[in-house]
Structures are given as structure tokens and as C-alpha cells.
Amino acid sequence: MARVKRGIMRQKRHRKVLAQAKGYFQRKRNVFKNAHEQVMKSGQYAFRDRRRRKRDFRRLWIARISAGCRICGTKYSALIHGMTQKGMQVDRKMLSELAIADFEAFKSVVKQATS
């Protein structure tokens, strides 16, 4: 059987990892062992934070809606409760956009939900 040398594949794998580690600080960008550890850890952070981003945006939308509600003289919880009672289906993302971009429309939604 012929002898198998693995130098080319090793270089390819190292090059791939080092390309992914481009922009990292100090040895994490140019020493394979450190770069590989950091690329693996970065992948874990990316996986976790793709889910975290959804939570963060929801919190932001709720904060914006709550601020708009305070200006209108009601509470966030009262608005959401009123909307569910009336069967109004406007999601929090759209409500926050209304509170920022078109406050008059937001006021009318609050008025309908709380009346």
C-alpha cells in the first residue's frame, strides 16, 4: 500500500481556520491552536446570540411601546390586555414602529384598545 502524506489537507484546514480568525486580536489570528479555539468559541457565541437577538429586540419594542403608552396616559399592560380583549392583532414590532413614526396612529390604537 502507498504511503499517505497529509500535509496538503492539514494546510488546507489550517488556512481555513486562520481565514475565519482574520481580525482577531494578537495570537488568536495567526497561531493555529489559539485561532482554532477562538473560532470554535466564536461559533458558540454566534449560535447563542442568534437566539438572544430575538429577545433583545422584543425588549426594545416593549420599551418603546411602554414609553408611548406613558405619553398617552395608560400602562403597557393595560394596552396589551385591551388589545387581546378586543381581538386586535398588531404585533409589538409594528406597535413600536407606530409609536416612533406615526404617533397619531399609535394614539388611535391606544384609544381603541382602552375604551
Domain spans of the chain, in order of start: 7-114
Q: For a pLDDT cut of 70, what percent of the chain falls above it? A: 100
Could you tell me the three cell numbers for 49? 446570540
Domain 7-114, CATH: 1.10.1900.20
Listed in sequence order, the residues at least 6 apart from 72 whose beta carbon sits closer than 8 Å to its beta carbon are: 106, 107, 110, 111
Contact 98, 65 (CB under 8 A): no
| Separation CA 39–CA 9 (nearest Å) | 19
Instruction: Please give the pLDDT value at position 77.
Output: 93
8-31: average pLDDT:
93
State the pLDDT at residue 47.
97
Q: Is residue 108 a contact partner of residue 98, using CB atoms and an 8 Å limit?
A: no
Mean pLDDT of the 54-74 span:
95
Q: How confident is the model at residue 6 (pLDDT cuts 50, 70, 90)?
A: confident
- pLDDT score at 54: 96
Average pLDDT of the segment spanning 21-29: 94
**Cβ count within 10 A of residue 95:** 26
Phi, psi dihedrals of residue 62, rounded to the nearest 5°: -65, -40
